[in-house]
């Protein structure tokens, strides 16, 4: 809930501020916040650098580039651009159009990524959809509904990142485990689920499934077995 007794923090153009507890935080341009932050909402249009932890009770909206040195905790996260989080990221709902990097786990109930990611820990989400534009990496992925596809649309984001990645828009992961799993362009050691579909561009060492397994004709799966 909002607390109207708290002050807003606004940085327009270029500025530096100390952290603290606020109602709304807005950065339009280039802003640096030193210290931990608690607020109702955070908007960044441009470049933001927050050298502590960030916790919002409602949402974080980013259009541009943002670095959070600590952890980020929010009800809803929407990014159009790039975000880098030094520690863990937690959100009820996260929507990323661009790139995301975390130094810890990425946790969300609903996760949508259009672009790419590098997650040092695990990705945990009840429902996740990932459309890959360039190489992505994570140790483990766990969830109920997991859908990973390769980008097939030509957009400004797609053109930029196809140049950077030389067309290798694929995911590298040790373990993927979920109820319903659909994969494209994925390299993994183990994939485990109730209903598993291995689509084009995949290289999987081991697939374990409970109910159904479907595989594209050209995928490379070393071993598959029913649990």
What confidence tens digit (pLDDT) does each residue in 46-68 have? 999 999 999 999 999 999 999 99
Tell me what the pLDDT averaged over the chain comes to. Answer: 91
Helix, strand, or coil (residue 7) = coil
Write the pLDDT tens digit of every residue in 168-205: 789 999 999 999 999 999 999 999 999 999 999 999 99
Domain housing 53: 1-82
Residues 24 and 125 in one domain: no
pLDDT band at 156 (very low <50, low <70, confident <90, very high): very low
CA distance 13 to 182: 44
pLDDT value at 161 more than 80: no
CA distance 78 to 81: 10
pLDDT value at 157 more than 50: no
Look at residues 44, 67, 82 and tell me which one is the last residue of a structural domain.
82
Residues 131 and 62 in one domain: no
Three-point CA angle 121, 127, 132, nearest 5°: 65
Residues 121 and 64 in one domain: no
Residues 64 and 164 in one domain: no
Residues 106 and 78 in one domain: no
Q: Can you give the C-alpha Rg of the chain in angstroms?
A: 19
Residues 4 and 98 in one domain: no
pTM comes to 0.89
Which alpha helices (H) appear in 18-116, and where do they start and end? Answer: none
E-strand ranges in 69-105 read 72-85, 89-102
Is-contact 198 207, C-beta < 8 A? yes
Q: How far is CA 156 from the centre of its chain?
A: 20
């Amino acid at each position: 809930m909002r607390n109207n007794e708290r002050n807003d923090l606004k940085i327009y153009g270029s500025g530096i501020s100390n952290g603290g507890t606020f109602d709304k935080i807005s950065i339009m341009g280039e802003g640096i916040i030193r210290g931990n932050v608690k607020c109702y909402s955070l908007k960044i249009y441009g470049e933001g650098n927050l050298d502590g932890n960030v916790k919002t009770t409602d949402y974080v909206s980013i259009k541009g580039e943002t670095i959070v040195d600590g952890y980020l905790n929010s009800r809803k996260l929407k990014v159009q651009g790039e975000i880098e989080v030094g520690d863990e990221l937690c959100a009820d709902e996260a929507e990323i159009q661009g790139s995301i990097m975390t130094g810890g786990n990425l946790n969300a109930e609903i996760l949508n990524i259009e672009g790419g990611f590098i997650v040092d820990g695990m990705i945990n989400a009840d429902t996740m959809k990932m459309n890959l534009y360039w190489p992505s990496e994570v140790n483990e992925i766990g969830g109920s509904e997991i859908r990973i596809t390769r980008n097939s649309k030509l957009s400004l984001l797609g053109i930029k990142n196809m140049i950077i990645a030389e067309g290798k828009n694929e995911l590298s992961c040790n373990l993927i485990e979920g109820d319903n799993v659909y994969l494209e362009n994925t390299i993994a050691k183990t994939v485990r689920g109730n209903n598993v579909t291995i689509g084009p561009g995949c290289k999987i060492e081991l697939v374990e499934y409970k109910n159904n397994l479907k595989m594209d004709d050209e995928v490379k799966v070393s071993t598959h077995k029913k649990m």
